[in-house]
Amino acid sequence: MAAKTKFRGSFTALVTPFKNGSLDEAAFRSLVNWQISEGTNGLVPVGTTGESPTLSHDEHKKVVEWCIAEAKGRVPVVAGAGSNSTKEAIELAQHAEKAGADAVLVVTPYYNKPTQEGMYQHFKAINDAIGIPIIIYNIPPRSVIDMSVDTMTRLWELKNIAGVKDATASMVRVSQQRAAMGEDFNQLSGEDATILGYMAHGGHGCISVTSNVAPRLCSEFQAAWAKGDAKAALAIHDKLMPLHNNLFIESNPAPIKYAMSLLGKLDETLRLPMVPVSEPTRVAVRSAMVHAGLIN
């Protein structure tokens, strides 16, 4: 078990800015610097929030390279490298390693619905092809399949499997995974709304959508929790909870891109089949941002 991680705190699942149909490199680099200056503990480019399904492989690789170059080692970069094709996932993971990523985030294969053994073999093949840590991304609502604790435990025996981004929203799972694999298995929540409970059950942090627009508050929540100040953490959580909810009224990342456009961080541009959010969602997102003190 050579390549393990001790990622802690607030990691931002970065959006990918577009302009005139192309990647907006300047906006993306500016976003990386803003995130770090606001206290974000790590960056996760080209996941679902980064619209990876509609990026070409060349675009995907560029975003990873820009993120690593702009971060300059100030915070860890966990590059999205998932695919429902094992061959493609290996190619993206190898590129991320070569580019200098600290780890890769690999989603359970979506659409083709592999069995538990298929998932094991998928992750084992990626493990065998690279030399940096792998964070398993378990997100049943999007991938349909759910990696079992038993399968995760088998994978944990491999040299590069380091932890999980857990988007099951199950508090029970955190405890089950810790019981099976121990404290060194790096558990990061993938569900902003459940983060308080996730941390209470023994989680180590969050790969967050909300932290795109509220990086300082998300990092302050994690800092308060790390200090054992549950009262302060709860107060910040209450401040953020409307955002945690309202950023998912419509499919991510449409609401978060609207929220960030209100801060002037990027154009509210998405790639089909994603479309801008409806007026009721705009009202709800704006209201949540006011509640969090992000806008007046």
Q: What is the DSSP letter of 164?
A: E
Reported pTM: 0.97
Beta strands in the chain (DSSP E): 9-13, 18-19, 22-23, 42-44, 78-80, 103-107, 134-138, 161-166, 186-189, 205-208
Residues 70, 89 contacting (CB under 8 angstroms): no
> Which string of DSSP letters, residue by residue, matches 79-132?
EE---SSHHHHHHHHHHHHHHT-SEEEEEPPPSS---HHHHHHHHHHHHHH-SS
Going from N- to C-terminal start, the domains of the chain cover 9-227
Q: At what angle do helices 149-156 and 116-129 cross, to 10 degrees?
A: 20
The phi, psi pair for 256, rounded to 5°, reads: -70, -35
Residue 291 has what pLDDT? 98
Residues 127, 140 contacting (CB under 8 angstroms): no
Residue 63 has what pLDDT? 98
The phi, psi pair for 203, rounded to 5°, reads: -70, 165
Burial class (CB in 10 A: 0-12, 13-18, 19+), 282: middle
Active site residues: 137, 165
Residue 2 has what pLDDT? 52
Q: At what angle do helices 171-181 and 149-156 cross, to 10 degrees?
A: 40
Mean pLDDT by 10 residues, the chain (296 residues): 84 97 97 98 98 97 98 98 97 98 98 97 98 98 96 98 97 97 97 97 98 98 98 98 98 98 97 98 98 97
What whole-number distance in Å separates Cα of residue 292 and Cα of residue 296? 10
Q: Which two tokens stand for residue 262?
A: 């209100």
What whole-number distance in Å separates Cα of residue 79 and Cα of residue 125? 18
Burial class (CB in 10 A: 0-12, 13-18, 19+), 149: middle
Q: Cis (ω within 30 of 0) for the bond into 215?
A: no
Tell me if the domain spanning 9-227 has CATH number 3.20.20.70: yes
What whole-number distance in Å separates Cα of residue 48 and Cα of residue 141? 12
Q: Is 281 annotated for ligand binding?
A: no
Residue 1 has what pLDDT? 43
Q: Is 207 annotated for ligand binding?
A: yes
* Total count of residues recorded for the chain: 296
Tens of pLDDT, residues 162-175: 999 999 999 999 99
